[in-house]
Amino acid sequence: MRKKIVAGNWKLNNTLEEGLKLASEITNMVTDELRDEVTVVLGTPYIHLSAVGKLTENVEKLHVAAQDCSTHESGAYTGEISVSMIQSTGASYVIIGHSERREYHNETNEQLATKVELALKADLTPIFCCGESLNIRESGKHERFVSAQITESLFHLTEEQMSKVVIAYEPIWAIGTGVTASSDQAQEMHKALRAHIASKFGNTIADEASILYGGSCKPTNANELFSQPDIDGGLIGGASLKSRDFMDIINSF
């Protein structure tokens, strides 16, 4: 069965103390309230990984993610964090190719292909982000554009590797803008991406792939988005910084 996943992406927010407070509120809520078969992931800054990992280690449905990783395994790369470092903190997921990394750090599909491969080698589950800008959406080429992101970063994987990748479709025009893709727009893209994955890896892997939606997902719209047949959860930015909102999104299934 396809996994339902709600992942928070804290981005550049929260000191260590603030992050631990938020994580402990979420841990308590997940323990008390989680009704459904949902996997919850907290995408924290690197400095929180270890401490949040310890705090959540006994909650089976709760996992920790890094927000990026290096394209290198080790060596003279000042400031970089490798997949094995992430893995050693107890984190089990890593967000790869977020549009903010692509835009502000010029990350290319080719570099992201390397990151995905390194993550899988270190037993981390990649949450691979893709999505188009408003210009591309308005030109009508959005499906082709996002499919190409997937082709260039994921189509070199084996079937076994691909079966471990989580996809997050995040239209850039919906991230942090308060404008959400309509459930029809999101479903249309998720369906197209699943078909694109099937064209390379076959129906079984495509049917089992969790494809998350991201971009201004909130407690008020999560249920409608998550009810779509090809939307398997969300990657949540702003609303993951408030424990009550995040928990309400998790409980929207």
Is 208 among the catalytic positions? no
Are the beta carbons of 87 and 58 closer than 8 angstroms? no
Task: Give residues with Cβ within 8 angstroms of 248, minimum separation 6.
Answer: 219, 222
| Residue 103 lies near ligand PGA (rule: CB under 6 A) | no
Are the beta carbons of 170 and 213 closer than 8 angstroms? yes
Query: 127 or 206, CB closer to ligand PGA?
Result: 127
| Residue 216 lies near ligand PGA (rule: CB under 6 A) | yes
**Residues between 228 and 247 that touch ligand PGA (CB under 6 A):** 235-239
Unique residue bearing structure tokens 């009704």: 35
Query: 163 or 177, CB closer to ligand PGA?
Result: 177
Is 152 among the catalytic positions? no
**Which position's Cβ is nearest ligand PGA?**
237
Cα 122 to its chain centre, rounded Å, is: 17
Closest separation between CB of residue 232 and ligand PGA, Å?
15
Closest to 100 measured CA to CA, from 49, 169, 43, 175: 175
Q: How many CB atoms lie within 10 A of CB 125?
A: 21
Given candidates 4, 5, 6, 9, which one binds ligand PGA under the rule CB under 6 A?
A: 9
Given candidates 29, 38, 186, 217, which one binds ligand PGA under the rule CB under 6 A?
A: 217
Closest separation between CB of residue 176 and ligand PGA, Å?
4
DSSP 156: T
Task: Give the separation between CA 222 and CA 247, rounded to whole angstroms.
Answer: 11
**Residues between 153 and 172 that touch ligand PGA (CB under 6 A):** 170
Query: 8 or 53, CB closer to ligand PGA?
Result: 8
Which one of the listed residues 100, 132, 143, 170 is annotated catalytic?
170
Closest separation between CB of residue 198 and ligand PGA, Å?
25
Closest separation between CB of residue 99 and ligand PGA, Å?
7
Give strand ranges (E) for the chain. Answer: 4-9, 38-43, 62-66, 93-96, 125-130, 166-169, 211-214, 233-236
Contacting range for ligand PGA; rule: CB under 6 A; set: 63-71, 154-162, 181-189, 209-217: 209-217
Q: Where are the alpha helices (DSSP H) in 2-158?
A: 16-33, 49-56, 83-88, 99-104, 109-121, 134-139, 142-154
Query: 173 or 201, CB closer to ligand PGA?
Result: 173
Task: Give the separation between CA 99 and CA 153, rounded to whole angstroms.
Answer: 14
Task: Give the separation between CA 119 and CA 251, rounded to whole angstroms.
Answer: 29
Query: 19 or 214, CB closer to ligand PGA?
Result: 214
> Which residues carry out catalysis?
98, 170
Interacting residue ranges for ligand PGA, rule: CB under 6 A = 9, 170, 175-176, 214-217, 235-239
